[in-house]
Structure formats: structure tokens, C-alpha cells
Amino acid sequence: MSGPAERKGILNRPLAAPLGLASLDAFVIAGAVALAYWMRFEGEVPARFAATAPWMMGGALAAYLAALAAMRLYSHVWRHAGADVLIKMTAAVAAATAVLGGLDVALPRTGALAGVRIAPLGVIVATGVLVFLGCSALRLLSRTVAYVQARTPAADARRVLIVGAGDAGSLLLRDVDNQPELKWRVVGFLDDDPAKAGRLIRGVRVLGPISALAATVERERVDEVFVAMPGASQDARRVVVDECARIGVRTRVVRLFAGEAETVGVADLSAVTVEDLLGREPVEIDTAGIAGTIAGKRVLVTGAAGSIGSELARQVLALGPSALTLADVDESRLYELYLELRRGGSEAPAMRICDVRDLDKTARVIAETAPDVVFHAAAYKHVPLMEIEPDEAVRANVLGTRNVIRACEQAGVGHFVLISTDKAVDPTSVMGATKAIAELLAFDAAARGRLRVSAVRFGNVLASRGSVVPLFERQLREGGPITVTHPEVTRYFMTIPEAARLVLQAQAINRGGDLFVLEMGEPVPIVDLARKMIALSGAHAEIVFTGLRPAEKLHEVLVHDEGGLAPTGHEKVLRADAPPAPPAGLDAAVDALVDAARAGDADAVRAALAGVAPGYAPERAGE
């Protein structure tokens, strides 16, 4: 079978070379001059004009070739030629014709040519018209060849359906047509605009409304769907993506803002992401209100190299702090984040290697940087791993939080914000229990009154390191299988940028001692997510159920059964009616827990957790 280069045909090869095209132009110009004489004199050129015809021929060749070169018409890729080329061609031919006419009138003539024009004006004008038509036809030839190739694709071409017949869809089709080597054949459009039904766009018909997707895919034997709806809402795109997943057709999405539709092409297509599947609309926040709590302030982020910490740092920097301290123990990721934040020219970001488990170092860093606001995102979050290493979970999540709080109180920090998790509610895991105790420590500090405290609790964040979505994506790249713990397991999901924005929103409306819960939408069945990702990727992979991991729940909750949520004025941020109440003797109980962790006694750690963490019941794992 011939390759893409061979299928372009012999006509494209000379057109690709400037010298070859100039030679063809010269042939067209010479023919135009001869035809113009024949038309003007109906085939019988008078002797006096026949004698000067070679002069006209030479002048026309020089003038038109020079004008075409001056307009850079030998630098274009002609299979992509458009209206701009036609305008340049018009200008070049008009200029050359005007020069020829001017010379015909102005050049002195003596001897036998005295009083005789070199060429009749009609011949010059006709030559210009014929040169324009002939040279334009040459340049349209490559586009014609490309169009024919696009409409007669290779036998193994994939049949593509474009959803969205607006500007984005039209330009996407044009780019597909211009790249026959991709071996795609667009069989039609779907669009909900009734005025477009049955119409042709670049020779391809609008086959019906988007609701006809399933029937159209079956009838037209579609291999792949391109969703070209950059201006549509997230919900509208999710409906299309969900339908594509239901019928099991590979799908790609154009990712552009509506105002950028003029740039749409094949390069803007990308695989469907889990954000497309969840269909969460971008979060609107009170930017002015948030900026008032950050702009001109000194801010410190612990765990800055992590998924949430790094995004918090990015968004904090955009609000104009006077200083932004990035604290973490992961030197490589910390340095990468620092370089990223400094690229914009801001002098605010600074790095500190700081292990929150080390009270002296933590206190020194906070005292030296004197932050007004501290976002405490440093924590261990991996549930199964913390079951294996419960002492590390206690040292990082409990001791680390207490160290940061104490350092903040000593340094006179204005506001401490704890990043918490839904796994702290009725915990069945060591990780969840340690985060529940971290919440108690925060609200204990709030009760002491030396530190303004808030805690923000939310569920899983998409694409964070170690989460299920990157795992599924890797398994799909490797050809499967996709591993799911249990057929009924569900989780709440939120994007990392969304979570960070809402954390900033929550801290801005904190009254002191508030526990905020982010609105996470409906819980997502993980097996449904896996099935959709398989269908939309076009991969052939099976789902294997591996069983719930140690201490894992079937379903997470965001508040205790006895607790409620109150509105805050922001629809995505809720305030818990009853934040966890620190018990008497909390410090002594935490001391005993930390001592057990330092001794490496896993059984003692679990026993101590049960005495401190509210609702900790590992026996309920799997519920």
C-alpha cells in the first residue's frame, strides 16, 4: 500500500518547489500573452504588432514574475492557500499590468516604431486577466488535490463524527482535510441548531441533532467522535461525553475558550479527562474579598511541594502577597515549584526545607518568616501505606500539626488554616484518625484564643499523586487491566485548582474556629468512572476487582451523622454546625500517642488512636 507521501501525487511535487512553480508561471504568462494577441485580433495579428510581440512577451515575463516574487507568492504551502493568497495574487497581477501599461505609453519609440505602441492596451489588459486566472488555477490545484484526497481517504481511514457544527467544528474539519496522512474521514456533523440541519460545511453534511448521537454512530459506522463545543457549558459537554461512553466510542475533545475558536485545529484535540466526565463547572469565588486577606501579607504554606500545597502556592502568589514561604522536605519538587513561581518575575516566593515533625526547625522557620497566614497542607495521605506505618502517620499528621500550631502561637501568626479530609469523619483508617486528631488540635488552639483558626475539609482531588485517576490512566496506557477495589465503592471528587480556590475562599470568610466543608457534588461510583475511561480511550481493557484495601471504606461522608451544615454565602463552601469539640486532657493523650509512635509500637499506636480520635472504629472498614 502506498504511503502518505506517495499518495500526494506527482502534481504536488513541482508545486512544492519555488523554481518549479516559477517555471509553470512563466509558461502561463507566455501563453496568456499569445492568447491575448489572438483574442484581440481574432487570430490575425497585424505585422506592426507582430514585430513588437517579443518585446511584450519579455516585458510581461519580467513584470509578472517579479511582482509574484515581491508578494512572496513562491513561499506559500499551496495546499493551505486561502483568501490571503488570492488577495496577494490580485495585487501582484494588478501592479504588473499597470507597469506594463505605463511603459507602453511612456517608452520613447523611434525609427520604424515611431508613433506605434508596442502592444495595444486591450492586449495588456487581457494578458493581466489571463495571467490572474492561470496562476490562480495553478495555486488552487494543490488544494483541489488535497480536497480529493480528503474525500477519497485510504481504505483504513478512521471514520470520524464531529459534534458541534460551529466555527470550531468547521475549522477542525479544514485541518483534518489538510492532513490526509492522519487517515481520518469526517462522515458528518451533529448540531442542535435546526438552521444547520442538512446543510453542508466544507462538503460534509450536518446529519442531525446531538440527541441522535447513538443512532448516527451506528448508522455511519463511526470509529471516533470529536467534540468541538469549546463555548458550551461543562454540563453540556459532559452529556455528550457520557453518551459517547455509554455507546463505547473513542472520544476526543477540543479544549479552547469560545473566543479562541479561530485557532482550532487537530493539535487542539485531546483525550477526554476525568474532569470532562464529572462535568463540574468552574468555581466562582469572591476574588476581591480573598485578596483582602492575602494581598500585601506574608504567607507560609507547609507541604508546598504536594498536590494541594503547590496549587495553593500558585493561587496565593496571584493575589499579591508580600512574601510567600514554601516549606517542605521534598527538595526536588520544592525547587521545581520555586523556579516555576519565580518565572513571572515575582520576588515573593522563598524556599525553606522544613520537616514539620521537627518542632525546633518548624518554630525557627515560622519565627524567621513571620507569616500573617499559614496554610498547613503537610500530611501523609495514603490510606493503605499508613496502615503499614501508623507511627509515621502519627508523627506527620498529629505531631506535625501540633508543632506548626505551637510555632504559630509563639510567633504571633494571625491565621492558621488546616487542610483536612473527609476521611477524618468517623474514621476507619489510621490516616483518617490522625487527621481527625489534627482537627481537634486546631480547634483546641482556637479555644485558647491566641491564634485565629479554621479547618477546611474535602474529599479526593483529581490527578493528585497516588490517587485513582492517574492509576487508571497508567493502566490504560499499559493495556489494562483496570483495578477497582469493589463494585460498589464510591468517592467524592474535586479538581486540585477548585479545591485550592475554595480553601482560599473559606479562609477569607472565617470567623475564628470554623470548620468548613467544601461542596463536593454527588459521590462517584468508581467502577462507572473506570468503565467510562476505558470506553472513551478506545482501549480494550477489562476491569478486575481486587477487594477493599485495609481500613478502606465503601463510601465516604463529609460530616458526622449528628452534625449539620450551614450556608456561608458561597454556594460551594458550607460551615459545620458543630466542629469537633476537643476533649479535656487532649495534650496528654497526644503526648502518649506520640510516645507510642516514637517507640514504633503499632499496637500501642492504634490503641492510643482509639482513645483520642473521635469515632475511630477500624472494625467498620468496608462499610
CA distances from 178 to 120, 145, 152, 221, 462 (A): 43, 10, 13, 23, 36
Higher pLDDT, 548 or 74: 548
Strands 482-484 and 543-545: parallel
3-state DSSP call for residue 164? coil
CA torsion angle 547 548 550 551 (round to 10) = -160
Alpha-helical (H) ranges within 107-212 are 121-151, 167-177
What per-residue string of b and e applies to 598-607 under the rule 16 or more CB within 10 Å gives b?
A: eeeebebbbe
CB 438 within 8 A of CB 418: yes
Pick the range with the lowest mean pLDDT from 236-240, 354-358, 601-605.
236-240
Query: 116-154 burial, b if ≥16 CB within 10 A, otherwise e?
Result: ebbbbeebbebbbebbbebbbebbebbbebbbebbeebb
pLDDT tens sequence across 440-495: 999 999 999 999 999 998 887 776 666 788 888 888 888 889 999 999 998 877 88
Question: Rg of the chain's alpha carbons, rounded to an integer?
Answer: 36
pLDDT in tens, 408-433: 999 999 999 999 998 888 898 999 99
Give the C-alpha separation, 231 to 262, whole Å. 12
The answer to whether residue 355 scores a pLDDT higher than 90 is yes
pLDDT for residue 373: 96
Break the chain into its structural domains and give their ranges. 4-151, 158-272, 287-461+493-520+557-620
Comparing 331 with 80, which gets the higher pLDDT?
331
Domain covering 287-461+493-520+557-620, topology: Rossmann fold (3.40.50)
Question: Of 14-23, 479-488, 530-539, which gets the smallest average pLDDT?
Answer: 14-23
As a whole number of angstroms, the distance between CA 250 and CA 220 comes to 15
> Class assignment of domain 158-272?
alpha beta
- pLDDT tens column, 181-214: 888 889 999 999 999 999 999 889 999 999 999 9
Burial 311-335 (b: 16+ CB within 10 A, else e): bbbbbbbebebebbbbbbbeeebbe
User: Is the pLDDT confidence value at 604 over 90?
Assistant: yes
Confidence (pLDDT) at 461: 78
pLDDT of residue 469: 80
Residue 230 C-beta-side C-alpha neighbours within 13 Å: 22
- 120-174 pLDDT tens trace: 888 889 988 998 898 888 877 766 776 666 556 666 788 999 999 988 888 888 8
Instruction: For 357-399, write each residue's pLDDT tens digit.
Output: 999 999 999 999 999 999 999 999 998 999 999 999 999 999 9
Q: Is the dihedral of CA 490, 492, 494, 499 positive or negative?
A: negative
Domains 158-272 and 287-461+493-520+557-620 share a fold: yes
pLDDT surpassing 90 at residue 560: no
Question: What is the share, in percent, of the chain residues with pLDDT greater than 70?
Answer: 88
In this model, does residue 4 exceed pLDDT 60? no
- Give the three-class secondary structure for 281: coil
* H/E element, 252: strand 250-254
pLDDT at position 147, please?
A: 65
- Predicted pLDDT at 3: 44
What's the average model confidence in pLDDT over 36-64? 83
Can you tell me the mean pLDDT for 549-553? 80
When mean pLDDT is compared over 197-206, 283-292, 328-337, the highest value belongs to 328-337
Q: How confident is the model at residue 8 (pLDDT cuts 50, 70, 90)?
A: very low
Is residue 352's pLDDT more than 90? Answer: yes
Indicate the length of the chain as a whole number: 623
Write down the pLDDT at residue 466: 66
